[in-house]
Amino acid sequence: MSVIESIGPAPGTTANVAVNQVLRAKRRQAVQQVALGVGFPLLLLAVWESCARTGVIDQRFFPSPSRIVAVAIDVVSSPTEAHLVVRDVLATLGRAVWGYMLGAVLGVIVGAVMGLYRPIRDAIAPTIYATFPTPKLAIFPLLIVIFGLGDASKTALVTFGVFFMVCINTLSGVLYANPIYRDFARAFRLPLHVQWFRVIVPSALPSIMAGLKLGIGQAFILVVSAEFVSANDGIGYYIWNSWQILDISRMFVGLLIVSMLGGAAVVLSNTVERYLIPWAKRS
């Protein structure tokens, strides 16, 4: 009987050749992934650059990427300007980091207690879920009334936003963790504090970590927004002020700095995650 169609390696191919084919295909895919991941943003920048140069978009509002880079170099190389930018970055980081840590700690504690102890959950959960959808920035005026115009009100705003993210994720992590861990803890009659701190709370770690990562985004949004509205320093102030005096290139430099800070925070959180929950599956 003659072969009508043959799928698979060509006749005479040895297993080794097939393995090499698979390896080569995998390598090709990896190269392609990196090339596309880097190439596409570069393409967008190139389009932006050419649009700006040919005057398709207004250079006064959308300076070309090359011009933004040139201004950024100017800023960094001028001692007075560099000093101011560093001051702004440190001011923003101070507010964001303190607010974040406070919000994260409170969020984990309140979320865990709510998850572990039913009466407290029943008492607090309705309030938490009812106030969660409120835009956090909306209570900023109230926070200024309470904490004054200084750093405290901005830090409090960050704390507030981070708290919700972390608290709700911790709560759901504790409540919906794999029930087998609870069964184990009860079946082996572990003392309550061991059940809580060595079994139930760790089992919620992946969810807590998700909340902590979402909290980073919240912290940056809120600190920059607060600095837009009321501040004399900070990177949010830098961006807003550059816009007000129509120094659009410097506004873009400010945006660049914020994105870099955000990117660094994400890389840091991924490292912490790998260290804290090495068993979690990652894509």
Partner 1 sequence: MNAVRSSSLARATPPAIQTAPDALHLQDVKRSFIAASGNVVQALSGVTVSVRQGEVLAFIGPSGCGKSSILRILAGLDEHYDGRVDWHSGGRDAGQTRLLSATVFQADSTLPWMTIENNIRLGLSGLKIDRSTADERVRRYLTLVGLSEFRTAYPHELSGGMRQRVAIARALAAEPLLLLMDEPLSALDAQTRIVMQQELLRIWDETRSTVVYVTHDIGEAITLADRIAVLHARPGRIKEIKPVPFPRERDVLDIRRTGAFGEMEADLWQMVAEEVGQKL
Residues that bind partner 1 (CB under 8 A): 180-181, 183-184, 186-191, 194, 198-199, 202-203, 205, 277-279
> What's the closest the beta carbon of residue 192 comes to partner 1, in angstroms?
10
Q: Which is nearer to partner 1, 205 or 223 (CB)?
A: 205
Give CA–CA dist 153/209, Å, rounded.
26
Amino acid letter for position 166: V
> What's the closest the beta carbon of residue 49 comes to partner 1, in angstroms?
47
Q: Which is nearer to partner 1, 86 or 194 (CB)?
A: 194
> What's the closest the beta carbon of residue 96 comes to partner 1, in angstroms?
29
> What's the closest the beta carbon of residue 66 comes to partner 1, in angstroms?
48
Give CA–CA dist 156/139, Å, rounded.
10
Q: Is 4 exposed, middle or buried (0-12, 13-18, 19+ CB in 10 A)?
A: exposed
> What's the closest the beta carbon of residue 195 comes to partner 1, in angstroms?
9
Give CA–CA dist 163/233, Å, rounded.
25
Q: Which is nearer to partner 1, 55 or 278 (CB)?
A: 278
Q: Which is nearer to partner 1, 202 or 217 (CB)?
A: 202
Query: Strand (E) positions, 111-152?
Result: none
> What's the closest the beta carbon of residue 180 comes to partner 1, in angstroms?
5
Amino acid letter for position 37: G
Q: Which is nearer to partner 1, 233 or 273 (CB)?
A: 273
> What's the closest the beta carbon of residue 62 comes to partner 1, in angstroms?
49
> What's the closest the beta carbon of residue 187 comes to partner 1, in angstroms?
4
**Residue 261 CB neighbour total at 10 angstroms:** 18
Q: Which is nearer to partner 1, 175 or 199 (CB)?
A: 199
Query: How far apart are the two ends of the chain, measured CA to CA in Å?
Result: 47
User: What residue has token string 């919240």?
Assistant: 218
Read off the DSSP letter of residue 232.
S
For 65, residues 6+ apart whose C-beta sits below 8 A from its C-beta are 45, 48, 49, 52
Longest dimension (CA), the chain: 90
Q: Which is nearer to partner 1, 58 or 183 (CB)?
A: 183
Backbone angles phi, psi at 91, to 5 degrees: -60, -45
> In this structure, what token pair is assigned to residue 214?
């979402």
Q: Which is nearer to partner 1, 169 or 218 (CB)?
A: 169
> In this structure, what token pair is assigned to residue 204?
């919620």
For 203, residues 6+ apart whose C-beta sits below 8 A from its C-beta are 173, 174, 177, 178, 181
